[in-house]
Structure 1
Amino acid sequence: MNLNDVWFLLIAVLWAGYFLLEGFDFGVGVLLPVLGRSETQRRVLLNTIGPVWDGNEVWLIVAAGATFAAFPEWYATLFSGFYLPLLLILVALILRGVAFEYRGKVDSDRWRRNWDRAIVFGSLVPAVLWGVAFGNIVRGVALNADHHNVGGFVDLLNPYALLGGLTTLLLFVTHGAVFLALKTTGPIRASARAVAGGVGIAAVAAAGGFLAWTQILRGDAITAGTAVVAAATLVAALIANRAGREGWAFLATAVTVLAATATLFLALYPNVLPSTLDPAYSLTTTNAASSPYTLRIMTWVAVAFTPVVLLYQGWTYWVFRKRIGVQHIPPATSAPPPAGAARP
């Protein structure tokens, strides 16, 4: 295996880690108005991901940076051809991060409701558009001989990619609901289990159809195996969730996300962006890669710093591993106005 293949594998691992960790973040955000019937319950939901959501987004930054450094032509073609959906994802993620920080700054129900809407929007849009984007990456786009995408935005809204967007949305919501059942107590835990069971059935249907279509499009014996693992573990997650075994259910949905991501990257390889005009125009791990010297330097950097990042993030999850409920949320208080300030 040469360094081109090694870095394709590492980028696949980074995206799988991102979807695994940020996936339940997105699910929690989408479920905020569904499971958060009161301000205290919404604070419980947000506190389950509060210590980890920004660390989870590091996986996206590293994945994008690794793509830029290891496969610059893939990065350039991808970000120019997918400009509008990726811009929408970026805006949604920025708005979501601001909402997490700002919703508690003013003691106003209207203020908090507006920022809660921003959290839902900032979670829903990426959950859908990442599936659409990766559906198009696997399916291929209209690359010409110069590796320029000559297709338009409407071309990205094809049935296969739209099914991919529906699949990631339902899968992330199921993953997030199972995470909430694992991390909370009382009525929220019971409601999260009910939501996971209901949405999970729809996720099984969507994911089964999308992975089967992927297998027909670009699959082989290996992708068939990973697709079966993804489907089987998702069904196992629903069974464990129904039995009240949230830890096993979350482990199963985690394996589902990893196996589904592996299926997409295995179906893509050795291409990194196929051409629908002519297979000879496709970007591959060979013609899109950086120089061998660049890849060697990147490899040493990855070997040195990746264990540090993994240990730190693992420690964060261990520290905040316990369940929380409404009894752990202190009453909301607002800071008194400065002396002499007029009250509104």
Structure 2
Amino acid sequence: MDTLALALLAFFATGYFVLAGADIGTGMLTPYLGRTDRERRLVIASFAPFFLGNEVWLIATAGVLVGCFPDLEGELLTGQFPVLVALLTGWIVRDVGLWSRGRGPGPRWRAACDGAVVCGSWTVSLAWGVLLAGPLTGTPYAPAGGLDALLAALATAALFAAHGLGFASLRLTGLPYERARRLVGRTGSWQSFALTGVLLAVLPLAAGLSLSPADSTADGTTLALLVPALLVVTPLLIAAQAWTWWTFRHRVTRPSYL
């Protein structure tokens, strides 16, 4: 059961970084990809069908961490509390901007919501960098500081942006596509997206190894209840995610409801 719990934690964490990294990165690049209101709506339409489903992977990761590794969760929550607050704030601001964009009175409202999407996306990516810097530099239960935190935050944000760029070049059309394709270069859209996806998957795995979660698993009775339930739910989550990506596999040609 301990091994299965660890595998589920790693699976959900890497799934979140690879999948949600696409919409976070695209949101970060919205001002570059979309120069007009209509173009920005097109950029948002490229990831609008995916972002809620992608966030489920983070919720699943948190659920596995709380249920199967309670001691580790408590130590991380206490030690990294300021970084987690920044991460959650960016997440909320970003989602509020996405949901509110199409419900306002005019261009200024939409511009403000676009700013919330961009700022929230950058905050989330930078906060993940600082959060991961702790485990990777040997201080998992305290916020990293100094040059280590700065470099980790910038490197992680750059990786999210590159992943979003590859995703955008697969989904967009028109001038936003041309801008994305220009930065992707000769690597190719799929190759770029796959490469950054692998690199993003490595980040939580490397951080997890330094945390030694196997030393803080819950008792056998708790694992015997939670792990089988998770094994039942996981195929449903994968199926729903696969259906979403297959249904919205085509390039966007017009704005969405957001």
> TM-score normalized by structure 2?
0.92
Q: What corresponds to 2:68 in structure 1?
A: 70
**Is the 2:135–2:207 Cα contact (8 Å) retained in structure 1?**
no
- CA deviation string 1:206-234 (max 9, x = no partner): xxxxxxxxxxxxxxxxxxxxxxxxxxxxx
- CA deviation string 1:23-71 (max 9, x = no partner): 1111111111111101110011000111110110011111011101111
The 5 Å alignment of 1:157-306 reads 157-197=145-185, 239-241=186-188, 246-266=189-209, 268=210, 271-272=212-213, 285-286=214-215, 288-306=216-234
Letter in 1 for 2:219: S
Q: Distance in 1 between matches of 2:104 and 2:179?
A: 29
**Is the 1:44–1:329 Cα contact (8 Å) retained in structure 2?**
yes
Q: What corresponds to 1:52 in structure 2?
A: 50
Q: CA deviation at 1:260?
A: 4.0
Q: Which of 315, 319, 334 is 2:247 aligned to?
A: 319
Q: Which of 41, 44, 66 is 1:43 aligned to?
A: 41
Percent of residue pairs bearing the same amino acid type: 32
**Is the 2:132–2:204 Cα contact (8 Å) retained in structure 1?**
no
SS at match of 1:107: coil
- CA deviation string 1:146-181 (max 9, x = no partner): xxx5x6x5xx22433332211210011001011111
Letter in 1 for 2:115: R
Q: What corresponds to 1:96 in structure 2?
A: 94
- CA deviation string 1:62-90 (max 9, x = no partner): 10111011111111111111111101111
Calculate the aligned-residue CA RMSD, in Å.
2.0
Q: What corresponds to 1:107 in structure 2?
A: 105
Q: What corresponds to 2:80 in structure 1?
A: 82
**Is the 1:174–1:195 Cα contact (8 Å) retained in structure 2?**
no
Q: Distance in 2 between matches of 1:262 and 1:81?
A: 20
Q: What corresponds to 1:281 in structure 2?
A: none
Letter in 2 for 1:313: Q
**Is the 1:181–1:193 Cα contact (8 Å) retained in structure 2?**
yes
Q: Distance in 1 between matches of 2:166 and 2:129?
A: 20
Q: Which has the higher contact order (CA 8 A, sep 6+)?
A: 2
Q: Distance in 1 between matches of 2:28 and 2:183?
A: 12
Q: Distance in 1 between matches of 2:249 and 2:3?
A: 36
Name whichever structure is richer in helix by fraction: 2
Q: CA deviation at 1:183?
A: 0.6
Q: CA deviation at 1:253?
A: 2.3
SS at match of 1:125: helix
Q: Distance in 2 between matches of 1:129 and 1:195?
A: 25
**Is the 2:45–2:255 Cα contact (8 Å) retained in structure 1?**
no
Query: Which runs of 5 or more residues in structure 2 are unaligned?
Result: none
SS at match of 2:26: helix
Q: CA deviation at 1:259?
A: 3.4
Q: Distance in 2 between matches of 1:260 and 1:19?
A: 8
**Is the 1:22–1:56 Cα contact (8 Å) retained in structure 2?**
yes
Q: What corresponds to 1:217 in structure 2?
A: none
Letter in 1 for 2:101: R
The 5 Å alignment of 1:129-168 reads 129-141=127-139, 156-168=144-156
Letter in 1 for 2:104: V
> TM-score normalized by structure 1?
0.70
Task: Count residues with an aligned counterpart.
Answer: 257
Query: Which runs of 5 or more residues in structure 1 are unaligned?
Result: 143-148, 198-238, 273-284, 333-344
Q: Distance in 2 between matches of 1:161 and 1:196?
A: 27
Q: Distance in 2 between matches of 1:103 and 1:39?
A: 11
**Is the 2:83–2:127 Cα contact (8 Å) retained in structure 1?**
yes
Q: What corresponds to 1:146 in structure 2?
A: none
Q: Distance in 2 between matches of 1:180 and 1:196?
A: 10
